[in-house]
Structure 1
Amino acid sequence: MDRRCPAPVPIKRSKPLSEAPPAAVRHPTIRPDWLARNAEPALEPGLPIVDAHHHLWELRDGAPYLLEDFLADAGGGHDVRASVFIECRAAYRTDGDPAFQPVGEVDFVAAAATRAAARASGPRVADGIVGFVDLRLGAAARPVLEAEIAAGQGRFRGVRQISAWHPDPAARGSIAMPPPGLLLDPEFRQGFACLGPLGLSFDAWMYHTQLAELRDLADAFPDTPIVLNHVGGAIGIGPYEHRREHVATVWGAALRELAQCPNLHLKVGGLGMRLFGFGFHEGEEPPSSLQLAEAWRPYVETAVEAFGPARCMFESNFPVDKASCGYTALWNAFKRITADWGPAERAALFHDTAARFYRLGELS
């Protein structure tokens, strides 16, 4: 099977690609009317799903994405049993010790999770919560972590601290602006050392050019569970736009190296982001799940081949990926890609791995 990443799928664009990115990276705009043009039904509606990665926020780029918005997206026919919220700088406290301001996000999401759990039907939204703590606080990160555990009301599972950095602004696909070499920083590692004793995991998000730093971190903390977000951030924009085969080779080798660390897991998704260079968000028509599956298949196959289904989990990355496709089409694409895979492999990818990693318990 050919594992190389193909060139982006040709699409008819509603506007030309800009020659240079803006000074500050922004997520592409979500176009609800545009998304509504693709009303394909959910495939295999009986296949249970845990959405391992989504966000909720009060306002970003002029639009909120709240519990009701996620429920509307997840209500398109797929059997979404539960979801995991990942930090996105939402609802921070605006006063008090700056180190504790991110606790406000956990309060906000825990309240949404409680409202979702009170519904007669529907998914257990944010059944796992991943917040933010600046681990560069060193040992002082522990009381902040303990405050977020309390705020999570039994749902807090770990933290994410984004390390995605590239010297060329044109290659950056994340709105975060961390310093270079974050995972190697001694103070960060002092804070990271607080996670294991508290039973917490770490979500890592970086570009494929930085994956060696994650291997070093995983080796240094072999007992701390780590999950790499968005298939390891294989860049397909800026200086890498026309180097897709080179990126595929380097990225694939890095994934196979990372897979040697038993404490590492991998999230398979986020492929609707501008970072990957497919440009679906600029099309005149929203992509079908067939188009998505064609574009995403090499990434999914390479990722799962490297880590195995038992250490991979599918994610929606909504609403960030919503700029490129609808929720129903996204999960249809994953189902198309894995249509010929075994039942146990598919169960792991769609449900079991995420439920186990984030300790979600039984999901009926």
Structure 2
Amino acid sequence: MSTTSNYLPVRAEWLASGTEAALEPEMPIVDAHHHFYERAGWTYLLDEYLEDARSGHNITASVYMQALTRYRQAGPEPLRPVGEVEYVADVTAPLQMGKPQVAKGIVGHADLRRGAAVREVLEAELAAGDGRLRGVRHLATWDADPTLVNPLSAAPRGLLLDPTYRAGVAQLGSLGLSYDAWLFFPQLPELFDLAKAYPDTPFIINHCGGVVRIASYTDQRKEVFDTWARSMRELAQLPNVFVKVGGLGMRINGFDFEKGERPPTSIQLAQTWKPWMLTCIETFGANRCMFESNFPVDKGSYPFSNGWNAFKRLTMQASAAERQALFRATVTNVYRLS
């Protein structure tokens, strides 16, 4: 499968046909998860993110998430991902005294399969990160149905249980780094086992825990939800585990937002997401959940403004303290952004 088929195409005219004005435009927001992309036919770098971030909502800062962008083209292979941290730190440096403080926290990539030897890479990324490197993400997505896995991020089965991989994860805590987890929901029990083994390392579940409702899971919608919810409840027992609430605009989620004549409204998004996102918030509590844009990946499904409007609609009944946690305090605390 080509890598492009794993992403929904971004259609500017379609998005513009249904972009909403921001609700509660003064509310401060820290975007917990976005990328810069530089791929064939798809560029989304600082200028593109700023255009979205300044489109109406009060985005004050963000956490940058690794995306295979601007790796070093020479030198030792394990150190090539350091180039992404260098690039992001450099291009966003002028923004750190302004608004939004894009990449106030940076999550890089390091090949944790190298075991203890990965420490060299982690230390190089810390040096390259302008004091803003906060963690790493090593994608762990695996499923028996190979059509679900992006070839750029395919992982072997059982990676999180592998002793050498765990020796790599073991390096994070002593360096003050967290672990961002992107995997599919059937793998959540493996993440529980991993996070339990390293209680002093923060583990941040990406995109509500890898909701998959297409391909071999299309006809198992109730079973998917029940299995996912059970695994999330188990993970919530571990105080070092947190959740990014968002990332449900991807192809694998099977919500088909991209198939509408116009983009979904924030009311439609909130209604569709409600069972999943409120389960996350009710299970983990607002102080362990944070909203994310997941742009540009989710941009194939809805405009930036509509997504944040949906988060605001979903939390209209929450207390002021809970909303503060979800929109800025949890991400600030977990990634030490203050």
Bin of the TM-score, shorter chain as denominator length: over 0.9
Query: What CA distance in whole angstroms lies between the structure 2 residues aligned with 1:172 and 1:274?
Result: 11
1:223 aligns with 2:200: yes
1:28 corresponds in structure 2 to 8
| 3-state SS of paired residue (2:6) | coil
Matches within 5 A, 1:61-140: 61-117=40-96, 121-140=98-117
Query: What CA distance in whole angstroms lies between the structure 1 residues aligned with 2:90 and 2:44?
Result: 15
Q: Does the aligned pair in 2 maintain the 1:52–1:315 contact within 8 Å?
A: yes
Query: What CA distance in whole angstroms lies between the structure 1 residues aligned with 2:92 and 2:248?
Result: 26
Query: What CA distance in whole angstroms lies between the structure 2 residues aligned with 1:36 and 1:47?
Result: 23
> How big is the shift at 1:282?
2.8
Query: What CA distance in whole angstroms lies between the structure 1 residues aligned with 2:17 and 2:314?
Result: 23
Query: What CA distance in whole angstroms lies between the structure 2 residues aligned with 1:175 and 1:51?
Result: 24
> How big is the shift at 1:133?
0.3
Query: What CA distance in whole angstroms lies between the structure 2 residues aligned with 1:197 and 1:95?
Result: 29
Q: Does the aligned pair in 1 maintain the 2:6–2:251 contact within 8 Å?
A: no
Query: What CA distance in whole angstroms lies between the structure 2 residues aligned with 1:175 and 1:122?
Result: 33
Cα 1:174–1:245 change in 2 (3 A) is farther
2:163 corresponds in structure 1 to 186
2:19 corresponds in structure 1 to 39
Matches within 5 A, 1:329-340: 329-340=306-317
Query: What CA distance in whole angstroms lies between the structure 2 residues aligned with 1:175 and 1:45?
Result: 37
Letter in 2 for 1:334: F
Q: Which ranges of structure 2 fall in alignment gaps of 5 or more residues?
A: none
Query: What CA distance in whole angstroms lies between the structure 2 residues aligned with 1:175 and 1:330?
Result: 26
1:17 corresponds in structure 2 to none
Query: What CA distance in whole angstroms lies between the structure 1 residues aligned with 2:244 and 2:2?
Result: 29
Letter in 1 for 2:254: G
Query: What CA distance in whole angstroms lies between the structure 1 residues aligned with 2:205 and 2:40?
Result: 26
> How big is the shift at 1:281?
1.9
Q: Which of these residues, 183, 186, 204, is aligned with residue 181 of structure 2?
A: 204
| 3-state SS of paired residue (1:255) | helix
> How big is the shift at 1:279?
1.1
Q: Which of these residues, 42, 47, 50, is aligned with residue 30 of structure 2?
A: 50
Q: Does the aligned pair in 1 maintain the 2:33–2:63 contact within 8 Å?
A: yes
- Which digits, 9 at most, give the CA deviation of each residue in 1:216-242, with x for residues without a partner? 001111111110000101211111112
2:125 corresponds in structure 1 to 148
Query: What CA distance in whole angstroms lies between the structure 2 residues aligned with 1:191 and 1:353?
Result: 26
Query: What CA distance in whole angstroms lies between the structure 2 residues aligned with 1:218 and 1:183?
Result: 10
Q: Does the aligned pair in 1 maintain the 2:81–2:109 contact within 8 Å?
A: yes
Query: What CA distance in whole angstroms lies between the structure 2 residues aligned with 1:261 and 1:283?
Result: 39
- Which digits, 9 at most, give the CA deviation of each residue in 1:25-48, with x for residues without a partner? 521111111111113110011211
- RMSD of the TM alignment (CA)? 1.3
1:352 corresponds in structure 2 to 329
- Which digits, 9 at most, give the CA deviation of each residue in 1:268-322, with x for residues without a partner? 0000011110111232211111111111111111111111100000000000000
TM-score by length of 2: 0.97
Letter in 2 for 1:160: R
Query: What CA distance in whole angstroms lies between the structure 2 residues aligned with 1:175 and 1:256?
Result: 30
1:9 corresponds in structure 2 to none
More displaced stretch, 25-34 vs 35-44? 25-34
| 3-state SS of paired residue (2:239) | coil
Query: What CA distance in whole angstroms lies between the structure 2 residues aligned with 1:74 and 1:272?
Result: 17
Q: Which of these residues, 342, 346, 352, is aligned with residue 319 of structure 2?
A: 342
1:303 aligns with 2:283: no
Q: Which of these residues, 241, 261, 274, is aligned with residue 218 of structure 2?
A: 241
More displaced stretch, 317-326 vs 174-183? 174-183
Letter in 1 for 2:260: G
Q: Which has the higher helix share?
A: 2
TM-score by length of 1: 0.90
Letter in 1 for 2:10: I
Q: Does the aligned pair in 2 maintain the 1:43–1:332 contact within 8 Å?
A: yes
> How big is the shift at 1:23?
5.5
% same residue: 51
Q: Does the aligned pair in 1 maintain the 2:188–2:209 contact within 8 Å?
A: yes
Query: What CA distance in whole angstroms lies between the structure 2 residues aligned with 1:170 and 1:313?
Result: 30
1:7 corresponds in structure 2 to none
| 3-state SS of paired residue (1:34) | helix
> How big is the shift at 1:170?
3.7
1:277 aligns with 2:264: no
Query: What CA distance in whole angstroms lies between the structure 1 residues aligned with 2:224 and 2:8?
Result: 23
Paired residues, what number?
337
